[in-house]
Amino acid sequence: MKVFIDTAKLDEIKEACSWGIVGGVTTNPSLIKKAVDALKAKNENIEMEAYIKQICETVGEGKPVSLEVISLTRGKMIEEGQILYAKFNQVADNVVIKIPINTYNGEDTTSDYEGLKVISELSRKDIPVNATLIMSSEQALLAAKAGARYASPFAGRIDDYIRKNLAIKFEKQDYFDFCLMEAIGEQRFYERIEDTSHKSPQSAYLDEEIKKCIDFAQDKGIGSGVGLVKSIMKIYRNFNMKTEVIAASIRNARQAREMAEAGADIATIPFSIIKEMIAHPKTAEGIKSFVGDVVPEYSALFK
Ligand code: E4P
């Protein structure tokens, strides 16, 4: 699994690149806002074009940098995608255009398909596309069909969605324990089956409460963000689809590891979580004792 860094902050990108682990960068308008706000807080001005060029250069050739469009209609998104590609791909030949899979924002249902149109048009022009805001395997299948080079399922946001539907309180970085959720769901199901004396499978099948237990902690059969990524990987492998999966919206180190176990091609991980991945109390304890045990005979080797 490649590791991309999910940030637009140049200092974070530079630092993570120096660790030799960065295979690419993903940005979005919210991440750009965070980077701008952080610079403004230090009274630093930002010249956006030069700043993004620096990002592309820092990451370097062969390591994709995703830049997102900001409009919601086909024509505008194509135009913006081409502008971003023309301005920045010349720097290190690594620009990928991020297009939302669906631009429906609760108002105009015709905009449901604008994303797909743009993904296929830009891909046909050989401009690589990262289909973003993917929340279902169905969307990921369509993104691949339309020609997206990358598909970005937002795992953390799916976990948030499931927990919110269950009225569970959580902090953004909390681990989503899908095993626990499954176990609670199963228990509810058996309790309900025992409580009701269904005379036939048909009456159990029609029992609304039983249906709710089956759907407990799921988004149409998807039990977690990691589950979403697994499902998409399976579909893409079934049909040998070339689109690469970027597991996105990663909320903690354990989830990042589970993405690797799920076989995600790439995980795009915030800087703070990449840092969390390196830490273990036993490693800290071990290094302390190794340093303390160095004998003069051994340290003389290095003089
Ligand atoms: C990356 O492509 C996404 O924009 C990003 O991972 C979203 O993360 P968030 O859900 O934490 O905002």
- In the set 98, 117, 275, 288, the catalytic residue is 98
Distance 4 CA to ligand 1 centre (A): 12
Q: Is pLDDT of 110 > 90?
A: no
CA-nearest residue, atom 11 of ligand 1? 249
- Residue to mutate, 28, 30, 32, 266, ligand 1, most ligand atoms under 8 Å from C-beta: 28
List the one residue out of 152, 151, 149 whose CA is nearest residue 242: 149
Q: Is pLDDT of 219 > 80?
A: yes
Distance 154 CA to ligand 1 centre (A): 6
Distance 273 CA to ligand 1 centre (A): 13
Give dist(CA 122, CA 82) in Å, integer: 8
Give residue 142's pLDDT band: very low, low, confident or very high (50, 70, 90).
very high
pLDDT at 267: 98
- 238-266 pLDDT, tens digit per residue, is 999 999 999 999 999 999 999 999 999 99
Give dist(CA 62, CA 22) in Å, integer: 11
Give residue 3's pLDDT band: very low, low, confident or very high (50, 70, 90).
very high
Is the CB of residue 28 below 6 angstroms from any atom belonging to ligand 1?
Answer: yes
Does the active-site annotation cover 40?
no
CA-nearest residue, atom 7 of ligand 1? 249
Is the CB of residue 130 below 6 angstroms from any atom belonging to ligand 1?
Answer: no
Angle at which helix 253-262 crosses helix 155-165, to 10 degrees, equals 110
Is the CB of residue 132 below 6 angstroms from any atom belonging to ligand 1?
Answer: yes
Q: Model pTM?
A: 0.94
Give dist(CA 181, CA 161) in Å, integer: 14
Cα-Cα-Cα-Cα torsion 101, 103, 106, 107, nearest 10 degrees, comes to: -150
Is the CB of residue 139 below 6 angstroms from any atom belonging to ligand 1?
Answer: no
Give dist(CA 1, CA 287) in Å, integer: 28
For the CA of 30, the closest atom of ligand 1 is 12
Give residue 201's pLDDT band: very low, low, confident or very high (50, 70, 90).
confident
Distance 103 CA to ligand 1 centre (A): 16
Window from 70-84, 199-213, 239-253, 289-303 with minimum mean pLDDT = 199-213
- 6-65 pLDDT, tens digit per residue, is 999 999 999 999 999 999 999 999 999 999 999 999 999 999 999 999 999 999 999 999
